[in-house]
Amino acid sequence: MCRNMSIVILWKSKVLILILVLTSFAVQLLIALLVLRDLRLPQSGCGGLGYVQPIPVPEARAREALAGKSPTNRELQSFASKSLSSHASQLLDRASDASRPLQVPASDARRTRLYEDLSREPQRAAPTYKGSKLAALFEHPLYNLPGPTLSTDDKLLTVNMRERFRPKSSDDEDWVSMEELEYVLLAGDSPADTYPNWMKFHMGINRYELYSRHNPHIETLLQELGTMKIVRVAQKHGGTQLKLVMTLENYGKVLFKPMKQTREQETSGDLFYFSDFERHTAEIAAFHLDRILDFRRIPPVAGRLVNMVKEIREITSDRKLEKTFFISPAKNVCFYGDCSYYCSMEHALCGKPNALEGSMAAYLPDIKLSKRLTWRNPWRRSYHERKKAKWEINPDYCAHVKKTPPYDKGTRLLEVIDMTILDFLMGNMDRHHYETFQKFENETFLIHLDNGRGFGRHSYDELSILAPLQQCCRIKRSTYSRLQLLATERYRLSDVMRESLSRDRMDPILIEPHLLALDRRLQIVLKTTQDCIERLGVGSVVEDDLGDHVGETKPCQKRGCGAKQTDAQLAQRSVKLSRFPTTYLSPRDRPGGKVTPYLTEQFTARE
Ligand SMILES: Nc1ncnc2c1ncn2[C@@H]1O[C@H](COP(=O)(O)OP(=O)(O)OP(=O)(O)O)[C@@H](O)[C@H]1O
Ligand SMILES: [Mn+2]
């Protein structure tokens, strides 16, 4: 009986084991089939789920990271602030964007961290290209158009090769030969090699540009602005806010604008443009933006951390300035200077404890050497909280401007439109005047000085800045083409700006929302231009300053001509740029030869 019982139990347990084995086998088979189905779905492209693209692994990881699933990102989250989360969501966008280079501003360690995590992912999609977007931009044919041949009349300064430099003191008069209005050179056998960089910059200024593309001296000059010993400091009078004129040890002069706001502070919408602070970062960023737009109409500007005691107070001979120095309750060195706005104890500029950040702008040649004309901007604002300017009331304002010298001839109106685009991109409403070099009369570019009120608001686009483009519906073809290029992924404006600014010692210069606002505003400029073209036709909107195509042999007389190979090269690089028929070219007025002021009181020579 007992034996029978044990045989039954043995059989029962054997059957149980068999059932268990079979069940586990069936479960495994089911799992395998499900996995197989998941893998096939995206390729099949059919069925409800089939249309949903799988999240690429890096992006999935980024999402996981944001959800705080990995230990690394929990660690990141513990630092998390609102701005980090917006950074992170931008990163998320970038992670799915295969064509972006892996460039990380060194200063943002947290961002770098997350980026490193993503870049370690083995299945990360390979970028469609490697290297620098900025370098690629500057190699593009649109940035390599042969320039005009320069005659003596096209150069701002003539240099007396025989004279030698004998610095007695660092006063302007000692390094400028007054009678001949020429530069006196540094001692040396081969003068060109011995010029300081600021002098090379001055000597390169011509009718068409402040400096040439690919000019190696500009990079060196920027380095010097950021590092070279400061030997002399004084206040710069004129203008509204405090700024200093500094002299470097190679006698180069610099306009220093001190930091007044942190990078994160966004200008309040309740503040009028004329009460806004000037931002040193805007001066730096404006130089980079102007160069990226290929205008080259802003003198080089670099960021610098200045020792307020050793590099300002101890070396200044300006007693008024020296007297305004004090030590704050927080034991920081402060000063407020002497000017018409914000020069008071309440608006003092304080260091940490004595280091003060600021922008260093290379000076233009002394006005004794090259006079400048200051012109009122026809689209200037009223600078009054209740008054409106004429252009705001009269919808036909541009027709009036077009009839008024110097806007009735040559390229002056188009130059104003270029300036408008620069200002709209950076949100600068403070362009009341612009300057030109007197020597070049009316046929020249506009110098874009004083950009400190740009980059104030990143969350708002001030459309009224675009009024000249909207009202006149005119743009240079070279400008329009470059704007289109900067709107493509390969040369995206925010990316090339980020990269260009990353070379500055004070990087990051602009916080991310300001960079992204550039892309948004660029779309608005393009849309405004396209609306004009739809309404009026390409021929009356786009001025073909790129010249004829193949076959042009005459020496260039005008800015930007000689661009024969452009369209062919553009096609080669498969960049979608609008092509314009060359037959619509309107006959352009040639320079009249004489300066024709807008209204006599509207320009004054800078003395
Ligand atoms: N890089 C430069 N080289 C030579 N002169 C310059 C330079 N930058 C500015 N200036 C001169 O200094 C003057 C004042 O500079 P800027 O306009 O930047 O100061 P500001 O205080 O903002 O003036 P405002 O209050 O009138 O706007 C300018 O009108 C210009 O003539
Ligand atoms: Mn100003």
Question: Is the model more confident about 566 or about 113?
Answer: 566
pLDDT tens digit string along 120-146? 333 334 445 468 999 999 999 999 998
pLDDT surpassing 90 at residue 77: no
Q: How far apart are CA 46 and CA 272, in angstroms?
A: 57
Q: Is any atom of ligand 1 closer than 6 Å to the C-beta of 365?
A: no
pLDDT surpassing 90 at residue 73: no
Mark 389-407 as b/e (b = at least 16 C-beta within 10 Å): bebeeeeebbeebeeebbb
- Cβ(325)–Cβ(313) under 8 Å? yes
**Residue 180 annotated as binding?**
no
Question: Is the model more confident about 159 or about 465?
Answer: 465
End-to-end CA distance of the chain: give it in Å, rounded. 127
At 339, the pLDDT band (50, 70, 90 cuts) reads: confident
Protein residues within 5 Å, CB atom, of ion ligand 2: 450
Q: Which of 38-52, 130-144, 518-532, 589-603 has the lowest mean pLDDT?
A: 589-603
Q: Is any atom of ligand 1 closer than 6 Å to the C-beta of 452?
A: yes
Q: Is any atom of ligand 1 closer than 6 Å to the C-beta of 607?
A: no
For the segment 576-592, the average pLDDT, to the nearest whole number, is 25
Give the nearest ligand 1 atom to 339 CA.
21
- C-alpha of residue 339 to centroid of ligand 2, in Å: 13
- Cβ(454)–Cβ(286) under 8 Å? yes
pLDDT tens digit string along 306-333? 999 999 999 999 999 999 999 999 999 9
pLDDT tens digit string along 39-67? 333 333 322 222 222 223 333 333 333 33
* Tokens representing residue 564 in the block: 């024969």
Contacts of 25 (CB under 8 A, 6+ apart): none
Per-residue pLDDT, 573: 32
For the segment 79-93, the average pLDDT, to the nearest whole number, is 29
**Residue 438 annotated as binding?**
no
pLDDT tens digit string along 390-424? 999 998 999 999 999 999 999 999 999 999 999 99
Our answer to whether residue 430 is catalytic in this structure is yes
Mutate to test the pocket of ligand 1, among 156, 256, 297, 450 (most ligand atoms within 8 A of CB): 450
Q: Is any atom of ligand 1 closer than 6 Å to the C-beta of 349?
A: no
pLDDT surpassing 80 at residue 383: yes
pLDDT surpassing 60 at residue 72: no
pLDDT surpassing 60 at residue 247: yes
Give the nearest ligand 1 atom to 432 CA.
27
Question: Is the model more confident about 536 or about 43?
Answer: 536
* Bond from prior residue into 508 cis (ω within 30 degrees of 0): yes
Give the nearest ligand 1 atom to 240 CA.
25
pLDDT surpassing 80 at residue 480: yes
Q: Is any atom of ligand 1 closer than 6 Å to the C-beta of 278?
A: yes
Q: Which of 25-39, 165-179, 352-366 has the lowest mean pLDDT?
A: 165-179
At 32, the pLDDT band (50, 70, 90 cuts) reads: low
Per-residue pLDDT, 256: 97
Block residue for tokens 């390094």: 175
Q: Is any atom of ligand 1 closer than 6 Å to the C-beta of 508?
A: no
For the segment 467-472, the average pLDDT, to the nearest whole number, is 98
Q: How far apart are CA 483 and CA 488, in angstroms?
A: 9
* Tokens representing residue 413 in the block: 């109106």
Task: Identify the sign of the CA torsion 367, 282, 448, 376.
Answer: negative
Q: How far apart are CA 197 and CA 200, in angstroms?
A: 5
Catalytic-labelled residue, pool 117, 276, 418, 430: 430
pLDDT tens digit string along 177-223? 433 334 555 444 556 667 899 999 999 999 999 999 989 999 999 99
Q: Is any atom of ligand 1 closer than 6 Å to the C-beta of 221?
A: no
pLDDT surpassing 50 at residue 70: no
At 498, the pLDDT band (50, 70, 90 cuts) reads: very high
Per-residue pLDDT, 255: 97
pLDDT surpassing 80 at residue 586: no
At 556, the pLDDT band (50, 70, 90 cuts) reads: very low
- Cβ(252)–Cβ(197) under 8 Å? yes
Q: How far apart are CA 328 and CA 349, in angstroms?
A: 10
* Tokens representing residue 244 in the block: 């200093």
**Residue 435 annotated as binding?**
yes
For the segment 481-498, the average pLDDT, to the nearest whole number, is 97
Whether ipTM > 0.90 holds is yes
pLDDT surpassing 80 at residue 596: no
pLDDT surpassing 60 at residue 102: no
pLDDT surpassing 60 at residue 524: yes
Give the nearest ligand 1 atom to 606 CA.
31
Q: Dihedral angle at the C-alpha atoms of 194, 197, 198, 201, nearest 10 degrees?
A: 110
**Residue 108 annotated as binding?**
no
At 110, the pLDDT band (50, 70, 90 cuts) reads: very low
- C-alpha of residue 240 to centroid of ligand 1, in Å: 9
For the segment 164-189, the average pLDDT, to the nearest whole number, is 45
Contacts of 561 (CB under 8 A, 6+ apart): 148, 545, 546, 547, 552
Nearest CA to ligand 1 atom 29: 239
Q: Tell how far CA 485 is from the center of its chain.
A: 15
Look at residue 254 and give its three-state secondary structure. strand
